[in-house]
Chains A and B, each alone.
Chain A
């Protein structure tokens, strides 16, 4: 769950970061490495986060708090990161701007310098020209006019000079001669500087003549543009004087500080070159230079216009502002160009070198416009922040979701626990309630029992009978509901014990025999010879299924028959092809039935069996039984087929009114069959009948699988059967199916059976047969068909001369009909055996007729009280109870049934008494006893028995010493006042065989005891 969302978060992180990196690489260049490092750290952290989460996931609250902190850290971290990105990008932009500005500024400075140098070179060239043509020649080749014209025409060479003038060096001694030669006096300049005048009212004549000096430097030539300076003594001007003095001593071009030009009043500088008499070598002293000086050539530079012109030549002049300063005096820079805008924005300074080492000039450049908003930086950082916040939100939502899911999960667990508790409570409730109902019901039934024994008139008897029947129905209903509850809660567990299938079916048959006789429905059971005598499984539950199915059949069948068949699955598969003949007539009672083979069509066992048939046959330890209950009842309507196995569903409401029942039986049966790893199915044709078939898997109860056939004949548990060993019986029946059933039952007694279909065939058979026929069993249907033949047959039989005449029996369906019939054939009254045929009952009837001494006890069909007497008579029974009174009462009750009772008042005594060999047939054990309770005592006894059995088996103890019994297992029944399920289950778990409620109830006692004795 965690990985699922951590992975997307990480990949998202990665994606964002890589995206950022992509956008950044261009801008950041060398910062890639740092990004990578940072990313590594992040991923490391996220790994740690996961690690921590897994550590803390156990304690939810800690994890939650931790997540919150992490979330805040995440958001803060990303905010810082995006701010940093913003600053970084902004810095980059500014840096770039600065670079641009610097390059532009430098470019301008360089150009300005170049232009200046060009002009300066030209002026220097002119100084050479003057020294050559003015001083070198006598008379001079240059006069004012020539100079003016020349300078005018070469002005283009000096684009930034507004004018050129030449001043000659005149010593005071030469002044008068000079003034005379020139025709004007040398005028002073400083007054003009102090009172600048406009060009218009400039009057050279008005100027004062220069005062007496050591030497003078009057201007003799001047370009026309500045012709007004002719005759002015430049040495008298403050700036000019300094300039001139420096120029002549250095021999290089020298610049003045910027000043307002005379007349034009514009800012300008004057470049001054000294003109020497002779060519001077480069290493002459300044003094020698001064001596050699002839004059001074000056050029006026109009800086303002110069820069302006220059800037106009360049592109993008609008984008920057240029200022030029003279910074010879650092504290007071003199602005030479540009408006003095005080802007603290970006500024670049380039130094200008105009060839004068003393003067320093600087160019300051600024952008005209303010820097634009750094949109890229803003959008990038905001984008990153937004993404980080989104990721944070996803993170938050996920954590919340996880917390919620966890909460839900815990809630569900809680609910589940509660539901389970409720389920347990439900079963507990059902168990308790049913127990609580059963207890008073037992009282009611007991009372009714007793009431029946008192003297009652017919009506009263009827009422009591009805009440008792209803009570019993109620108890059975409660048991069913309890069963259903147990099955639903999965608490039903099957027992695994040895049992005799045939005996169980006889038992069930006896249950229904009364009803079937009453209804005139023929009831029959057939068990295949292949089915082993003893099986291991849960006989109680098996009986319950059969009883349910037969009960249903009995309810819905008014005529015809109910026929139970038990086969091995393998047998049925083998016979599927053989039994293809139409079964419509070949049935027990002649009524058509639903084809039972269709009822198992859907069984998985069969489809599986088809392929693995040999395999399942070889594993002979597992017995696959298939049981069919076939009836000729009303059948189930087609539309109800689907809900036959649904609990509490009956075909219709009218059914439950007419037939009663809860409709729970089949559902329980289905569950039970499922528990026996079998399947249940049915086929039903309305008006014809239904056939229910189920399979069940049992374990073979015979130790040697090959033995069972011989056991079937020889080793009957019923002692009566030995009497019929070797006898021959003749069954007269025209219906093969019914004859098969009769044969099955008689064969179980050990007799040999032959079947003929007609009375007329009997005599020839008897006389012609080699063996002696001891008895003839005639189906009532045949007997009644023609009374004449019957009578004749009787006579013939009576006159039969070969030895003892065989006994004649009539197999009758119901008592009533056979009685009337018996009355008519008075001559040789055949003995009547009422169906359904049961081995024990058959044996008893035959014994009576054949004069065989009746040793056995008729077990079935008798009143329980009487049966109990028979069951318990002479049995030695141990009762264990710590309560003397209880002990006495229980002993009294059992003694009443003729049992030989021994009492023990503690579990320990019971153990010592039940140490094999002993004579006890059964033990009734109280559950709750001090010191050692019933369960523990039973466990000890079972343990003891087990070890002794083992020793006997291994030959360590002789069987003779243990009364020839090699398998000791004394039936132990729990006695308990509360019959709740838990007690029952525990009693089975510790090796008890059953339980009886205290105080004893005759029916229950009989049911439990009959299973063992």
Chain B
């Protein structure tokens, strides 16, 4: 049993995205629980990948592929986990704020968070405060992540926080922000819960925010 989990870890590390679905099915059929597949198969692989990325030994396209390998396996085990009422790492609603079209950094953050086990609802770019509010109501996320690459659209971050407050949902979520002109000091100023300077740090921050709130 641990053999297949080990193989699954290494499939994630190798980014064998076409194999992991079947491996997950085999593991479940072979008697593994969904939790075991996730926490002893997929996650150790992904943790290794993120360690290698931070150490400069793996690169974005490789990390993306590993994350995809993991997500493909997740498709198999997620329904089982949901049925058994097992808690996932957490849900994140993510978007680039209103007026801002820079989306590549946000996409990277989304992929890294997915790689860390989060479920992502990506609202795209140029997302109005109201759309964030709607998404919070609809998806019940743990975290709202906002990206802004422009000083002019940093205003929309504050506006979106306000919209969450007005809709009475601010307390239900942690808010995390990022993007090139954004700083920790700005995050403190507008009263959000977290800031991270890059995608790898964003995934770590998301984990911390969840750990702190549970």
Q: Is chain B found bound to chain A in the same assembly?
A: no
- B: which residues have CB within 8 A of A? none
- A: which residues have CB within 8 A of B? none
